[in-house]
Structure 1
Amino acid sequence: MIEFQEVGRRPSTERRPIDAPPLHAVYSRSEKSSYEFADAAVELGLSPAPAIYHDGDPSMDLDALLARSGITAVIVVLPIALQPSIVRKALAAGKHVLSEKPVAPDVAGGISLIKEYNEKYRENLVWRVAENYEAEPGFRTAGELIAAGKIGKINFFKAVYQGGFLLDGGVHTIAVLRTMLPEPLTHLSSFASFNHEYLKPHDTINAVAKAGSHFHGIVELSFGAPTKSTPSSDAFTITGSEGWMTVNFTNVEGTGQVLRIRIKRVVKFEGKPTEEVEEVIDKPIKGVQAEFGSFFDAISGKEALDIGDPLGALNDVAFIQAGLNSGGELVDLVKLVSEGK
């Protein structure tokens, strides 16, 4: 966990990725990890010397840190099962919160946390969920192009994800679909399995999903493949009535990694296809900077990018939970998010 004081401009350094407010304190359960994090922050130019808090000293534990009146914002990066309790503790102490995804370990826990925030804290405090894929300029640009009709009316889609545990990493994929598709995911039918003994209870989900009123797609999430590479070369494919779009992380020589949007659409004459036109758009990887920057803008009263909504993050968790439990049965995602079961 790290804590920020009042938002304000600081002298920039070449190593600082965003114009962050001053970092005044760090907390971890162990003294060793707190010092290591503080040293890394100093090296990056985030703070001259943040205060160290840890559970080894009752006078310097989390409660002591949250009692500091000058601290206004908290960034929570902790194990998934532990995060909701710390988010609650920070909000109760009057701090703005940016918490790592997923929003909670399950839908019921997420509903409870969001309900408490809405009823007690929303009027005065900002809480955002840090989902950097949702904030990536490449995925957001793809969503804008789709919404503008670049490939016509959406017919179907496919998302393939390999690597990372299903709840922790899989929500990234669902957040991308939430960002790009013109209508939300509403239903799924899936099977889940495990292919490596050490990854029980599950490491793979294969789902057929419905979105909006008319289109559907396939979502494949796996941490169980035998190789790092995947047979499918495209992570995201959206197909419309006038063409298709793929979006992939791509390494470009001399530039580094980018999100590459590739569009191929038909050109028609008198209603008949005459040729195919291809367009490639590369966007830099800036999701982490965007999610932090938006949070800093929000807590300082500035106009902020519309990302990090806990309810959006809850929808991502709902898809993973449903994907793990479906067993081939159709699951109503809208009902799951509203009722928690």
Structure 2
Amino acid sequence: MPIGIAIVGSGLFAKEQHLPAVQAATDLQLTAIYSRSLKSAQDLASGTSSSSAVDLYSEDSGPGKSYADLLARADIEAVIIGLPILVQPEFIQKALLAGKHVLSEKPIAKDVATAQELVSWYQANVDPVKTVWAVAENWRYMTKLLFAAEQVRTLGAVRNFRVNVHSLMKPDNKYYLTSWRKTPAYQGGFLLDGGVHMVAALRLILGSEDPITTVSAQSQQLQEYLPPVDTVDAVVKTQSGASGVVSLSWGSSFSDNVFEFACEKGMVRVHFDGVTVNGVDHPIEFDGKGVGPEVAEFARTIVHGRPVEKRQSPGEALADLGVLEGMLRSGEQDGERIQLRETYIQ
């Protein structure tokens, strides 16, 4: 029998990714939707095959339709939480205390301190065997990146690498027009919200055996409408001594999306059209953003009663955030070398 699940948050990502992923997962049955407003919950429900079969909850729906009421339902075993960065921890904690399995969107929290506090709270107050908390990072499920990681493993140790991801987030972009992103009350702006994907991809390809240990960066705000900063250029070093450059920008006139790895036995290059290994192109057709398999794996974890997969673990998400925050902190200190803490080096 499918697991009853609720989607908490009805923003763009919920409409474009969470809803289709839940509908495609044979182990899940969408039972309810919660949003700040009834209208936004209705908008998301309109994308279901039978919106009348999905119960709607919101802050303005009156008695019996609050988030607490949703969590009190025995037929809802799990929730997917995709809310603004600053409010997510409260919703995560309430769901876990109610005994609901949680898949929460990245980043795990607004900063490392908040994330560590949340992880410590989970470890002290919730039995992870009975109640799973997973953190979503769909880039760890993208075919192109998984293929690149496999190829790097076959070519021996990474010696040098570079990541260049540049684009211009325009004022009419649908994500920019989201109010909490337009005026961010958290570090990094789009560098936090989007940059954590690139860090996750880099860490995936480098592998857990060689974590990033130090960073030194410069940051700046190229576009006045993208506070507090929209660009960071960092030199990073791994535990083995491999060094690399990570350049991320949402305020740039450049258009780049390249990950390159020089290994003992050759080179792997990830680019817009696929992956090139030692000069041989491997075109990889885009098969989605990875959210479908990510949600399906979360469901299987619950069905089989097993621990959360490593690539969905809060510890892995904390490590992503730790690297990115190290870049931002170094940028604030004019390139000061930051040693990453062992607590978030996975």
1:189 and 1:196 mapped to 2: Cα distance? Answer: 23
| 2:118 pairs with 1:113 | yes
Q: How does 1:266-281 map to 2 (within 5 A)?
A: 278-281=280-283
1:135–1:288 CA contact under 8 A, matched in 2: yes
Q: Deviations over 1:138-191 (max 9, x none)?
A: 2122212222x33x3311111112346110100000000111103111110001
5+ residue gaps, structure 1: 8-12, 251-259, 265-276
1:201 and 1:26 mapped to 2: Cα distance? Answer: 33
**Distance apart, 1:58 and its partner CA:** 3.1
The secondary structure found in structure 2 opposite 1:206 is: strand
**Are residues 85 and 16 of structure 1, via their aligned partners in 2, closer, same or farther at CA, if it must alter by over 3 Å?**
closer
The secondary structure found in structure 2 opposite 1:307 is: helix
**Distance apart, 1:36 and its partner CA:** 0.8
2:129–2:305 CA contact under 8 A, matched in 1: no
1:192–1:325 CA contact under 8 A, matched in 2: no
1:236–1:246 CA contact under 8 A, matched in 2: yes
- Tell me which structure has the larger Cα radius of gyration: 1
Aligned match of 1:312: 316
Aligned match of 1:248: 271
| 2:201 pairs with 1:194 | no
- Counterpart selection for 1:131 from 124, 137, 162: 137
**Are residues 71 and 17 of structure 1, via their aligned partners in 2, closer, same or farther at CA, if it must alter by over 3 Å?**
closer
Aligned match of 2:303: 300
Q: Which has the higher strand share?
A: 1
1:210–1:217 CA contact under 8 A, matched in 2: yes
The secondary structure found in structure 1 opposite 2:252 is: coil
| 2:232 pairs with 1:205 | yes
Q: Which amino acid aligns with 1:289?
A: G
Aligned match of 1:263: 277
Q: Which amino acid aligns with 2:243?
A: H
2:198 and 2:144 mapped to 1: Cα distance? Answer: 14
- How many corresponding residue pairs? 299
2:27–2:300 CA contact under 8 A, matched in 1: no
Aligned match of 2:186: none
**Are residues 208 and 6 of structure 1, via their aligned partners in 2, closer, same or farther at CA, if it must alter by over 3 Å?**
closer
| 2:181 pairs with 1:177 | no
Aligned match of 1:224: 251
The secondary structure found in structure 2 opposite 1:124 is: coil
**Are residues 37 and 306 of structure 1, via their aligned partners in 2, closer, same or farther at CA, if it must alter by over 3 Å?**
same
Structure-2-length-normalised TM-score: 0.80
Q: Which amino acid aligns with 2:302?
A: I
Q: Which amino acid aligns with 1:295?
A: F
2:151–2:268 CA contact under 8 A, matched in 1: no
Q: Which amino acid aligns with 2:32?
A: A
2:343 and 2:132 mapped to 1: Cα distance? Answer: 25
**Distance apart, 1:290 and its partner CA:** 1.4
**Distance apart, 1:213 and its partner CA:** 1.4
1:120 and 1:285 mapped to 2: Cα distance? Answer: 39
Q: Which amino acid aligns with 2:260?
A: T
| Aligned-CA RMSD value | 2.4
2:268 and 2:54 mapped to 1: Cα distance? Answer: 45
